[in-house]
Amino acid sequence: MQTIIEPFRIKSVEPIWFTTKEQRISTLEKAFYNPFLIHADDVLIDLLTDSGTSAMSSNQWAGVMKGDESYAGSPSYYTFKKAVQDITHMPEVIPTHQGRAAEKILFSILGGKGKYFVSNTLFDTTRANIEFSGAEGIDLLCDEGKHPSIPAPFKGNMDIDALKKVIAEKGAANIPLCILTITNNSGGGQPVSMKNIREVKQVCKENNIPLFIDACRFAENSYFIKLREEGYAIKSVREIANEIFSYADGCTMSAKKDAFANIGGFLAMNDKELATKCRNLLIITEGFPTYGGLAGRDLEAIAIGLNEVMDEHYLQYRIRSIEYLTNKLVDAGVPVMQPAGGHAVYIDAKEFLPHIPVKQYPGQALVGALYTEGGIRSVEIGSLMFGKYDDNKKLIPAHMELVRLAIPRRVYTQSHIDYVAEVIIEVFNNRYNIKGLSIIEEASMLRHFTVKLKPVTE
């Protein structure tokens, strides 16, 4: 087979800055072992997130120039609305400045004490917005999704029996929404199958629970369905996306992912009454309903990005580039989530660093080592991000201790990725020198963003 190439050429470049290992050791110490606190110029390859970090196309930049900045009724809003509706077929489209703003509005209205939101896996901001409202979030990931090294085609699926059980236990009336995160970011960027979406919808329908999609990576998920699910090979990605959204009553979206935008998001839904409540809150928190916290130029960039992302040459290259890095690591014996996800490579830090107990945050320790070894910034998705304390202040760990290397869209070339693999393998070969970490200072919510840590020295 021929090499799958980047389906674009490069018109504008930005320099990246080199540092020495000694400099990075000092930088990490000054940042309290939390790479969120590092100056981005001190990072060589930034795999912290695929969010807002995409390279926009020349068409999107042209859209930026076309953006109309009218406070109300901007034509850019109508272009944006049409692009969203062509994918979702949902009548109500509400722009927000990013995904979590859509979540904040939705859960402020539907959340509150005594309410439960069920999901395959809620992303951290989604869970935080649910909990901030006083409600509880319940993750019901299928069993295959909980074992990083065992491959399965749709490890993002929801456990249908568990869903039925939770509904029976908590009562359908106390469950305002069921949310499917596609792809499942916190569970390895793994896709959800169309069959699973259909089954979840059926259970929701029987219980009168609306189904919402957290649609950040809908195109990547659709492409996995095309590749892996029987009957979908002949369908276009747009047709597959249309079918996914046809089962949903609404969605939240961060346009910073599968819309190649640097900022933006939206809420879309069928329910007019709920949409009116959302718009009323939007006006207080984000802005008038035809711009919702965005500039007209952003709305144009998102509309164009939503169409570009469904290009199958792009998706083939995108999915292949994640698989390429995953395979290199697998060949070297590095424990990674398999199969490769849609937007990131996930290292199993518990396996990688068996000498570091979970209470010393092996994921965060590995994040630090990748930075000092090669200037690579990654993020822990484990007990630092999702851990809780019991009444005795003892850590209740997360399901998995993962380190995510998220690949920004259309940004890095194959040699950057080869370099990343070399650094990870070097760190793996010297892994027993890595030490665990303990927390010095933390916030009560989303603590991973601002936490301060120090190495454990016994």
Binding to ligand F0G by CB under 6 A, coded x per residue (else -) over 322-361, reads ----------------------------------------
Residue 98 or 364: which CB sits closer to ligand F0G? 98
Residue type, 457: T
Per DSSP, the three-state class of 251 is strand
Binding to ligand F0G by CB under 6 A, coded x per residue (else -) over 199-228, reads ---------------x-x------------
Residue 126 or 193: which CB sits closer to ligand F0G? 126
One residue of 98, 119, 133, 222 binding ligand F0G per CB under 6 A: 98
Tell me how far apart the alpha carbons of residues 112 and 99 are, in angstroms, rounded to a whole number.
Answer: 20
Do residues 205 and 249 touch, judged by C-beta distance below 8 A? no
Question: Per rule CB under 6 A, is residue 126 in the interface with ligand F0G?
Answer: yes
Bridge partners (DSSP) listed for residue 179: 119, 212
Interface of this chain with ligand F0G, residues 397 to 416, rule: CB under 6 A: 406
Residue 123 or 247: which CB sits closer to ligand F0G? 123
Q: Which residue is nearest to ligand F0G (CB)?
A: 99
Question: Per rule CB under 6 A, is residue 185 in the interface with ligand F0G?
Answer: yes
Q: Give least dist CB 96 to ligand F0G, A.
A: 9
Q: Which stretch binds ligand F0G (CB under 6 A): 21-29, 123-131, 332-340, 395-403?
A: 123-131
Q: Write the CB contacts of 116 (distance below 8 Å, at least 6 apart in sequence).
A: 135, 136, 137, 138, 166, 170, 174, 175
Question: Per rule CB under 6 A, is residue 372 in the interface with ligand F0G?
Answer: no
Question: Per rule CB under 6 A, is residue 123 in the interface with ligand F0G?
Answer: yes
One residue of 27, 54, 119, 181 binding ligand F0G per CB under 6 A: 181
Tell me how far apart the alpha carbons of residues 327 and 424 are, in angstroms, rounded to a whole number.
Answer: 13
Residue 88 or 185: which CB sits closer to ligand F0G? 185
Residue type, 185: N
Tell me how far apart the alpha carbons of residues 453 and 34 are, in angstroms, rounded to a whole number.
Answer: 7
Class of residue 430 by CB neighbours under 10 A (exposed 0-12, middle 13-18, buried 19+): exposed
Do residues 134 and 113 touch, judged by C-beta distance below 8 A? yes
Q: Write the CB contacts of 15 (distance below 8 Å, at least 6 apart in sequence).
A: none
Do residues 45 and 375 touch, judged by C-beta distance below 8 A? yes
Q: Write the CB contacts of 402 (distance below 8 Å, at least 6 apart in sequence).
A: 148, 188, 337, 346, 347, 348, 349, 363, 380, 381, 382
Phi, psi for residue 339 in degrees, rounded to 5: -75, 180
Question: Per rule CB under 6 A, is residue 265 in the interface with ligand F0G?
Answer: yes
Interface of this chain with ligand F0G, residues 37 to 96, rule: CB under 6 A: 49, 51
Residue 356 or 400: which CB sits closer to ligand F0G? 400
Question: Per rule CB under 6 A, is residue 371 in the interface with ligand F0G?
Answer: no
Question: Per rule CB under 6 A, is residue 448 in the interface with ligand F0G?
Answer: no
One residue of 63, 99, 187, 189 binding ligand F0G per CB under 6 A: 99
Tell me how far apart the alpha carbons of residues 241 and 439 are, in angstroms, rounded to a whole number.
Answer: 42
Tell me how far apart the alpha carbons of residues 357 and 366 are, in angstroms, rounded to a whole number.
Answer: 13
Q: Give least dist CB 347 to ligand F0G, A.
A: 16
One residue of 26, 108, 125, 285 binding ligand F0G per CB under 6 A: 125
Q: Give least dist CB 406 to ligand F0G, A.
A: 6
By CB under 6 A, name the binding residues for ligand F0G.
49, 51, 98-100, 123, 125-126, 181, 185, 214, 216, 254, 256, 265, 406
